[in-house]
Amino acid sequence: MSTADDSGSIGNADIAPLKTIVERNQVWPVMAAKYGVTNPVPPWKTSLDGLCDALDQSACATNVPDFKERRDEEDALSATLYSDLPYPENQLVALAHSLVVRGVIDETELQDRLTRIRARLEA
121: Cβ contacts below 8 Å, ≥ 6 apart? none
Rg of the chain over CA atoms, in angstroms?
15
Residue 63 has what pLDDT? 82
Which pLDDT score is estimated for 111?
95
37 three-state secondary structure: coil
| Secondary element (H or E) of residue 122 | helix 107-122
Query: How much is the pLDDT for 2?
Result: 38
For 72, list phi and psi in degrees, rounded to 5: -65, -45
In this prediction, residue 65 carries a pLDDT of: 86
Q: What is the pTM of this model?
A: 0.85
Looking at residue 81, its pLDDT comes to: 92
Burial 1-14 (b: 16+ CB within 10 A, else e): eeebeeeeebbebe
The pLDDT of residue 6 is 46
Q: What is the pLDDT of residue 59?
A: 67
pLDDT string in tens for the chain (123-residue length): 334 444 457 878 889 999 998 999 889 999 899 989 999 999 999 999 999 999 888 766 678 888 899 999 999 999 999 999 999 999 999 999 999 999 989 999 999 999 998 898 788
